[in-house]
Structure 1
Amino acid sequence: MKLTRTLTLCLALAVTPLVHAASSDQNAQLKQRLTKVLGIKIQSLSAAPIPGLLQAITSHGVLYVTEDGSKLFHGNIYDVNNDMEDLTEAAMAGPRLEMLKPFESKMLVYKAKNEKHVVTVFTDVTCGYCRKLHSQMEQYNDLGITIRYLAYPRQGVPSAVADEMESVWCSKDPKQAMNDAEVGKKVLLAKCDADIASQYQLGEQMGVNGTPSMILSDGTMVPGYLPPKQLLQSIEMH
């Protein structure tokens, strides 16, 4: 759902404020209200880093709502006293890992022999930086980084790119098909239950808006391409 639609729908909350949402029952009522008004799934509702606000983990990222349910906003909260830590990003780390689990069997995995880290990459076979990342796969693996791919066709689903990525996932040798696709070679048409649409929707739910987008093993999302050594530094920093 587009952010503009989210913000438009949020105005409806101000029309009929809810009672104070401090108790678990009241929080449950607020979750139901948000779900109805926004049309998105509310996975959890808890105290936010700012007093007087509640933090809603949703199927479309993190939202913040006042305890009486009358005001809601979308944005990131940073801790000025802790090196500008992005508290909103940190709040999504755990939920992202849980969201990834059902998709593990659908991933194309380039496993490092001496695996130290696992990074999940939302990729598009027509994306220039995705191709650059893939061309350096051996270097990532040599650093102990296993790369797991999920499909995120930037044109959406259905699209020609989505069809091409389905053919990669459904190939008799998916990793070789990915190797071919990433250098612009034609991949033979193939169909199966890869469910590229669900992979794409998962990316949207996690806040992916471009490729490549990387999910580190702690759930942190790193948007964009990082060279092998720089990715390792980012992993170790987290």
Structure 2
Amino acid sequence: MKLTRTLSLLCALLLTPLAGAAGNTLSQDTDAIKQKLSEQLNLQVLSMKDSPITGLYEALTNRGVLYISKDGSKLFHGNLYDIDQGMKNLTELASAGPRLEMLKPFEDNMLVYKAADEKHVVTVFTDTSCGYCRKLHKQMADYNKLGITVRYIAFPRAGVPSANADEMQAVWCAKDPKLAMTQAKAGEKLQSNKCDARIDEQYKLGVTFGINGTPAIILEDGSMLAGYLPPKALFEALEANK
């Protein structure tokens, strides 16, 4: 028994430094990859962990979720699906939770169209010149009647700076932003206004979420629907997503 205990203790003492060294190597590897992505691709890595595929890291960046080989030489940008779980979108699943956390600091900057009998809350990245954004806005009363509160956040598709971004600045800084939004989406010219609307930050947030078109609808669990959905279809999607 004493011999067994002695051998076990020796093994533990020998293996512990090796485990620590492996952990340090992992940290060093990811730090080196983060630096490489920053210097070569101007990417900011918000978090990095092992991906569902052996040999790849999953990195949440300011350009969405990316997959990177362990040696940092290969990069994949796209959706990863689990065939055995009904084609579950693992990339979307990895993005959902962080999206909700990143939205919180912008809640005071959102234009909120609150439903009287609120059942669901969605956050819509919108643009004043987008045809389907205008269509969604015209149906706002119908979304609200179904119990859907809609929160707008700015995503000028032309980027920042741009005339598009200036128009959205004028909306957010207007005396009545909701009225200004209706006017802008009807094609009316708005008076230029300035305030701390954080349009640039709102746009960058959308880019981090992987948004490249509008409207983009963030559901209550952080998952995202790309594109317009009519009121009834959106309500059904929200109910199914409970």
TM-score range, shorter chain: 0.7 to 0.9
Alpha-carbon distance in 1 for matches of 2:176, 2:67: 45
Distance 1:211 1:34 in 2: 27
1:185-220: CA deviation from partner (whole Å, max 9, x where unpaired): 232221111121221121112111111111111111
Which sections of structure 2, spanning at least 5 residues, go unmatched? 1-21
Structure 1 residues 22, 48: CA separation in 2 closer, same or farther (over 3 Å shift)?
Answer: farther
SS at match of 1:81: helix
Tell me the residue number matched to 1:217. Answer: 220
Say whether the 8 Å CA contact 1:20–1:26 is kept in structure 2.
no
TM-score computed with the length of structure 1 as normaliser = 0.85
How far the C-alpha of 1:168 sits from its partner, in A, is 0.9
Structure 1's unaligned 5+ residue stretches are 1-18
Matched, 1:97 2:104: no
Distance of 1:131 and 1:60 partners within structure 2: 26
> Does 2:41 align with 1:38?
yes
Flag the 1:174–1:209 CA change in 2: closer, same or farther, 3 A: same
**CA contact under 8 A between 1:41 and 1:59: conserved in structure 2?**
yes
Equivalent residue for 2:51, pick from 43, 48, 52: 48
Q: Residue 161 of structure 1: CA displacement?
A: 1.9
SS of 2:68's equivalent in the other structure is: strand
- Between Structure 1 and Structure 2, the one with more helix by share is 2
Deviation at 1:21, TM superposition (A): 8.1
Sequence identity of aligned pairs in percent?
59
CA–CA separation in structure 2 for the residues paired with 1:212 and 1:41: 25
Superposition CA RMSD, Å: 2.0
Distance change in 2, residues 1:124/1:136 (3 Å): same
Query: CA 1:66–1:21 in structure 2 vs 1: closer, same or farther (change >3 Å)?
Result: farther
